[in-house]
Amino acid sequence: MTRYSDADLFTLPTTFMGAPYGRPGPGNRAAILGIPFDCGTHPTRIGARGGPDSVRLQSNLMRRFNPTHADFDPVEALGLVDCGNVKLTPSKIVDAFERIEQAADRIVEAGAVPITIGGDGSITVPVARAAAKRHKNMVALHIDSHTDAYPYTSAEKYNAATQFTHVAEEGLIDAKSSWHVGIRGTTFAQGVVARTQSLGYRVVSLDELVRGGFAQRMSEFRDQAADRPVYLCFDMDVFDPSCAPGVCTPSWGGLSAREGIDLLRSLAGLNIVAIDVNTVSPPQDVNNMAAHLCAHVIYETLVLLCRQMGLVKAA
């Protein structure tokens, strides 16, 4: 009988694009962190807590080289590691936020860029808290079909529609230099855009974004941000449900997969210090489309980081 080694007998945890599992050290420029959390307050769509594992599984379909855009291995270039998921209980919101913040802290303190996979949009609060400790004067670029800057009550302080109210009020980002991009669709309340603008944010609707062109609008944001640290938050519901059906709050008339990729590629030149991709909800997904597209979104951000850090030649 053949005597097999442990490496031949036991599989390792599924990681994003096969990145090594572990914690970031001196040679790791970026780290994946899964956040299996949703507030559980949505009336019909619960399940974003399963997003990180679903996205990791679909990332197995991603190849590491793109000969017409990025003919290099961003996982290797960044020394990417996958830290696994934060250990939490979704129903315990305050405790979960403390755990998320501390887990993100470990990545930020190691000098790596945290790349978080949600989870619903509320996770932005603890991740931004961690990033803001190291990166002062941070600005946010929030790509979403909703502003998520709604008012809150003492009875329900945290949900997936108030995170950008909290990060502005807590001073985690400079709201006056931060943008919400891709806003569209119906809402439960009147005056949502005016409310968001009252916090200082600029709101760029999807119509405005398409009319002005991705490159032009993002060039304007880049000029305003200059070299300041950028918190990039990407909500998967900015895509049309035809290509990302498994999201928390689908809204018709969104970006195609091609448009979303073009938008991400127009972000070259930003000083991105944290990446927060959220709202994949596996129970509502069809053939894992949203999860697979989310894996590609994260891949595109890895390419952005490689070029930002000068690890590869610009395209």
Domains of the chain, by residue range, sit at: 6-308
The position carrying tokens 């490159």 is 215
pLDDT at residue 211, rounded to an integer: 93
Are the beta carbons of 159 and 152 closer than 8 angstroms? yes
Q: Which distant-in-sequence residues (6+ apart) come within 8 Å of 207 by Cβ?
A: 184
pLDDT at residue 143, rounded to an integer: 98
Instruction: Classify 309 as helix, strand or coil.
Output: coil
pLDDT at residue 315, rounded to an integer: 54
**b/e code 260-298 from CB counts within 10 Å (16+ = b):** bbebbbbbebbebbbbbbbbbbbebbeebbbbbbbbbbb
**pLDDT one-digit tens code per residue, 190-243:** 999 999 999 999 999 999 999 999 999 999 999 999 999 999 999 999 999 999
- Mean pLDDT along residues 113-117: 98
Report the alpha-carbon distance of residue 127 to residue 147 in Å, rounded: 18
Could you tell me which CATH number the domain at 6-308 has?
3.40.800.10
Please state, for a pLDDT cut of 90, what percent of the chain lies above it: 91
Per-residue pLDDT band at 188 (split at 50, 70, 90): confident
Are the beta carbons of 127 and 116 closer than 8 angstroms? yes
- Read off the pTM: 0.96
Count other C-beta atoms under 10 Å from residue 144's C-beta.
Answer: 22
Report the alpha-carbon distance of residue 170 to residue 155 in Å, rounded: 19
